């Protein structure tokens, strides 16, 4: 399968980076074709603004939605966005890996979504192209996350609540909205302080999960 691995952690010696390295190795061994978007390493621009549009429809007033619709038709997004869109078009599965900040994406990943999942490219409310009819239908996505919090905090009855319910704004309203079929999330809880032994065992478990990605993707 063709996989785009979208990664956001600023530290190459972090546990997140170790997971990413193990993932790239494993997916390659399994015969998948993998492209990597390592957003901090790329110094990816995280904010949607005028500079995203090389030939704006209007120069007097900036309307992000209208400019996205226009640039999607004309192919006139800035190069960094066009490059990411090309990867998304190519892909079977998108894997997003990041540390959970405040029960969601770090700003870096949110910016990638805001800019790359543009109106007219990933969805189009004007033509009803959303959810089952979303423009990315036929592709799949998976969230891979680390949380400092323990699992109990993110369980039904825990102080935060059920993580899968809380993340519905991502799995359903964001990824699902574009037509992506969302695979079950992979979450490492209590990732703030881990013994070396636990690090090793968490990496092993993640490798196991990735080895069965093809079956997983077929089943779901």
The residues of the shown chain that bind a copy of itself, judged by CB under 8 A, are 10-11, 13-14, 40, 46-50, 60-65, 99, 101-108, 110-111, 113-114, 117, 125, 130-131, 148-149, 159-161, 166-170, 172-174, 177, 192
Least Å distance, CB 129 to a copy of itself, is 12
Is the CB of 33 or the CB of 162 nearer to a copy of itself? 162
Catalytic residue among 32, 120, 154, 177: 154
Catalytic residue among 75, 128, 148, 192: 148
Closest CA to 9 of 94, 96, 113: 96
Least Å distance, CB 83 to a copy of itself, is 18
Strand positions, DSSP E, 14-72: 33-38
- Tell me the three state secondary structure of residue 50: helix
Token pair for residue 212?
């069965």
Residue 192 known to be catalytic: no
Is the CB of 95 or the CB of 176 nearer to a copy of itself? 176
| Inter-residue long-range contacts of 79-84, CB under 8 Å, 24+ positions, other chains counted | 80/42, 80/44, 80/45, 81/52, 81/115, 81/116, 81/118, 84/37, 84/112, 84/115, 84/116
Beta pairing partners, 119: 123
Residue 148 known to be catalytic: yes
Is the CB of 65 or the CB of 90 nearer to a copy of itself? 65
Is the CB of 62 or the CB of 186 nearer to a copy of itself? 62
Least Å distance, CB 201 to a copy of itself, is 20
CA 192, 196, 199 angle in degrees (round to 5)? 60
Residue 31 known to be catalytic: no
β-pairing verdict for 181-182 and 140-146: parallel
Residues with catalytic annotation?
148, 154, 160
């Amino acid at each position: 399968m063709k996989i785009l691995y979208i990664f956001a952690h600023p530290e190459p010696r972090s546990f997140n980076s170790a997971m990413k390295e193990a993932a790239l190795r494993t997916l390659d061994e399994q015969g998948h074709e993998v492209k990597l978007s390592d957003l901090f390493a790329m110094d990816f621009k995280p904010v949607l603004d005028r500079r995203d549009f090389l030939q704006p429809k209007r120069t007097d007033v900036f309307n992000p939605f209208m400019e996205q619709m226009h640039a999607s038709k004309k192919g006139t997004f800035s190069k960094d966005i066009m490059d990411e869109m090309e990867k998304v078009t190519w892909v079977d599965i998108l894997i997003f890996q990041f540390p959970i900040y405040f029960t969601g994406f770090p700003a870096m990943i949110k910016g990638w979504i805001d800019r790359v999942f543009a109106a007219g490219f990933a969805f189009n409310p004007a033509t009803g192209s959303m959810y089952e009819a979303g423009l990315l239908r036929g592709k799949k996505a998976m969230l891979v996350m680390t949380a400092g919090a323990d699992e109990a905090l993110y369980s039904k009855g825990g102080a935060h609540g059920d993580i899968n319910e809380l993340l519905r704004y991502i799995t359903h309203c964001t990824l699902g909205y574009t037509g992506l079929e969302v695979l079950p999330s992979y979450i490492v809880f209590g990732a703030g302080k881990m013994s070396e032994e636990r690090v090793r065992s968490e990496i092993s478990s993640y490798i196991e999960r990735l080895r069965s990605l093809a079956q997983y993707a077929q089943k779901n």
